[in-house]
Amino acid sequence: MNTVPVDYVLDDQIGFLLRLASQRHSGIFQRNVVGKLTPTQFSTLIRISEQGEVSQNRLGRLAAMDVATIKGVVDRLKAKGLVQAHADPKDKRRIAISLTATGHQIMDDLKRAGLEISDLTLEPLTEAESQTLVTLLKKIS
């Protein structure tokens, strides 16, 4: 039997703070990214450009998205004409995803915008603090 009231300060909890920081970052992203891309669409494009050609399932793992989520993201990127899909002749289950010519063309601008967005997000911190934050976040991921 525990009758002692619990002292819970929401504003100090890691989960709440992660959501706040993500929200601010999303806002900055939206105002600065090239084209009308979302953060997940952006990450997906980066992963595809790194891989050249990749199955949808593997792409989801690389971009840290659920299979149901990555399907929607790929569908919207296809609709934008930035990626294409074609069946894998060796494995009929697989659908190979790759960048279109247009997709290739915007990658450099996207990467530049991405770096700028990261800088703006970390603007309240010093260089050393930014490095620390990145290191700590990697540890709890």
How many residues in the shown chain lie near DNA by CB under 7 A?
29
139 binds DNA (CB under 7 A): no
Closest CA to 55 of 8, 92, 15: 92
Q: Which residues between 43 and 82 bind DNA (CB under 7 A)?
A: 55-58, 64-69, 71-73, 76
Q: Between 19 and 112, whose beta carbon lies closer to DNA? A: 19
Which of a copy of itself, DNA, none lies near 21, with the C-beta cut-off 5 to 8 A by kind? a copy of itself
The DSSP line for the chain is ---SPP---GGG-HHHHHHHHHHHHHHHHHHHSSSS--HHHHHHHHHHHHHSEEEHHHHHHHTT--HHHHHHHHHHHHHTTSEEEEE-SS-TT-EEEEE-HHHHHHHHHHHHHHHHHHHHHTTTS-HHHHHHHHHHHHHT-
User: In angstroms, what is the minimal distance from the CB of 126 to DNA?
Assistant: 26
Q: Between 22 and 102, whose beta carbon lies closer to a copy of itself? A: 22
40 binds DNA (CB under 7 A): yes
Q: Between 27 and 52, whose beta carbon lies closer to DNA? A: 27
List, in sequence order, every residue forming a beta bridge with 96; answer none if it has no partner: 55, 86
User: In angstroms, what is the minimal distance from the CB of 41 to a copy of itself?
Assistant: 12
Contact residues: DNA, CB under 7 A: 19, 23, 26-27, 30, 38-41, 55-58, 64-69, 71-73, 76, 90-95
